[in-house]
Amino acid sequence: MKKIIIIGGGAGGFFAALRCKEVNPKASVTILEKGLHFLAKVSVSGGGRCNVTHNCHELSKLLQNYPRGAKFLREPLMRFMPADMIAWLQARGITVKAEEDGRMFPDTDDSQTIIDCFMDEAQRLGVKMLLKTAVQRVEPLPAGGFKIHTPLPTPFEADSVIIATGGAPKLSSLEWLQVLGLEVVAPVPSLFTFNLPKNPITELLGVSVPDARVRIVGTKLEQRGALLVTHWGLSGPAILKLSAWGAHDLACQNYSYQVAISWLPAYKEDELRAFLLAQKQDSKKQIGNQSFELPKRLWHFLLEKALISPLWHWHELKNQDLNRLVSLLCYDVYDAQGKTTYKEEFVTSGGVALSEVNPKTMECKKIPNLYFAGEVLDIDGVTGGFNFQSAWATGHLAGAEAAKKLG
C-alpha cells in the first residue's frame, strides 16, 4: 500500500490529507502533528469564529490580497476558489455567511464547527492522525521514498510527504528544510498594528474613521480603509493591510518609521482648501462645532494640533491657520516605534521560497514526491480569510497531486 505522510495537522495539512484520501482511497494517509491538538489555529481563528474564507469570486481581485505569493497562488486558487470552499462545507452540512466587509464565517459563529467537520471527515475517510509527533528530519532515500525522523526510535516511512508545518517565527525553525537543500526566505511577522508610544493621539482610544489613507513616509507603501486609534497606537484594516505590504520594509527599519495619515482622502488638497475657505466666508459657527465627516474628538485633537481654538468662529480663521489645518488633514505625520501583533489574526511572511515549488502540483522541484501546503511557503495574505483560503487551496492541490501521482 502506498503511504503518504503529512507533516502538520493544521488547516493546510488537514485539507491535504482529506483530498489525498478522496483522490486515492487506497493510499495510507497519516498526519503527524507535534502539538497536543489538531487544528489549533483554526480553533482560535477569527476570535473563535473562524473567518474561513472571503466573499470574493474573481481570481484577479482575490490575488490582490496576497502581498507575497500572488503570482504563485494563481494556479492553486484557480483550482480551488472561495466558492469551492463554500460548496465543500455546504456539502458537509455547514453553511457560511458573509459579513459586510466580505469576511465569511460559519453560521454557528464557532470555529469548533469547522474542526468537528474536518475531524469527522478524516475519520470517515480513514486518515490516521498522530499527536505529539514532532518531525525532526525528512530523509529522501536514494531509491525513492522517505524516512521521517521523530523522537520515536523507528522512523516513519513514506512514498510521498506533504510538508504543512505552518509559519515559522524564526529562521532557525526552518533549518530542517534548509538541510534538504531548499532555499528559505527569512520569516518576519505580518499583520500587526503600529505602536505610537506616548503620542497624545492615543488618548483618543476607541475613535475610528471609516476611510483614511495611511502611508509609510519615504516609501511607496500606502493603503486606504478604516482606521482605529487604540491606547497603544493605530489599528484597523488600513493599518493591518499596510503592515502586511510593508512587512519586510518595516522589519528592515526595525519598526521605527513615520506614518502619514490623510484623514479625508476623498478630497484632494485643493478641494479641501476651497471647502474650508467657503466655511470661513459663509459660516458663522464655531469651528469646534463642525467636524464634517470626522469624529468630534478627533476634529478637536486636529484643531489643537493645528494651533486653532475650537471656540473660534470660522471668520476669525486667518489664511495661515487654514493652510495649517489643510496640511494636517492631508498629511498628518506620526513617529511609530514598534509593533503589536494583531490578536485576531497574524501570519508570518517568509518560509520555503516559491521558486522551489511547482505551482501546478505543489511538488518540490528538486525532490520528487515532496509537496508543500499552507503558510510554510513564502505566501501570506492580508486579514479577511485570505490566509485560510490559501491554505485550503494549496492543501487541496498538494493532496490531489500527491495521491494521483502514487496511482
Ligand X SMILES: Cc1cc2nc3c(=O)[nH]c(=O)nc-3n(C[C@H](O)[C@H](O)[C@H](O)COP(=O)(O)OP(=O)(O)OC[C@H]3O[C@@H](n4cnc5c(N)ncnc54)[C@H](O)[C@@H]3O)c2cc1C
Task: Give the interface with ligand X as residue ranges (CB under 6 A).
Answer: 7-13, 32-35, 40-41, 44-46, 50-51, 134-135, 164-166, 344-347, 374-376, 385-388, 391
Letter for the amino acid at 18? L
Distance between CA atoms of residues 95 and 228, nearest Å: 31
Task: Taking each helix axis as running N to C, give the angle between helix 111-125 and helix 40-48, from 0 to 180 degrees, rounded to the nearest 10.
Answer: 150
Least Å from the CB of residue 344 to ligand X: 6
Q: Which is nearer to ligand X, 163 or 308 (CB)?
A: 163
Q: Which is nearer to ligand X, 161 or 298 (CB)?
A: 161
Q: Which is nearer to ligand X, 265 or 374 (CB)?
A: 374
Nearest residue to 376 via CA among 185, 134, 237: 185
Least Å from the CB of residue 138 to ligand X: 9
Nearest residue to 319 via CA among 310, 311, 327: 327
Segment holding 23, helix H or strand E: helix 11-23
Least Å from the CB of residue 389 to ligand X: 7
Least Å from the CB of residue 135 to ligand X: 4
Contacts of 404 (CB under 8 A, 6+ apart): 23, 24
Least Å from the CB of residue 99 to ligand X: 12
Contact between 193 and 340 (Cβ < 8 Å): yes
Q: Which is nearer to ligand X, 321 or 380 (CB)?
A: 380
Q: Which is nearer to ligand X, 134 or 251 (CB)?
A: 134
Distance between CA atoms of residues 255 and 272, nearest Å: 32
Least Å from the CB of residue 131 to ligand X: 9
Least Å from the CB of residue 43 to ligand X: 9
Phi-psi region of 73 (alpha: psi -120 to 50; beta: other; left: phi over 0): alpha
Segment holding 365, helix H or strand E: none
Least Å from the CB of residue 53 to ligand X: 7
Contact between 235 and 259 (Cβ < 8 Å): no
Q: Which is nearer to ligand X, 265 or 395 (CB)?
A: 395
Sign of the alpha-carbon dihedral angle for 247, 248, 251, 257? negative
Least Å from the CB of residue 383 to ligand X: 7
All three cell numbers of 111, joined, read 470555529
What residue is closest to ligand X based on CB?
Answer: 10
Nearest residue to 84 via CA among 57, 61, 104, 102: 57
Instruction: Give residue for cell 531509491.
Output: 143
Q: Which is nearer to ligand X, 39 or 326 (CB)?
A: 39
How far is C-alpha 201 from the chain's CA centre?
Answer: 27
- Cα(first)–Cα(last) distance of the chain, in Å? 11
DSSP 239: H
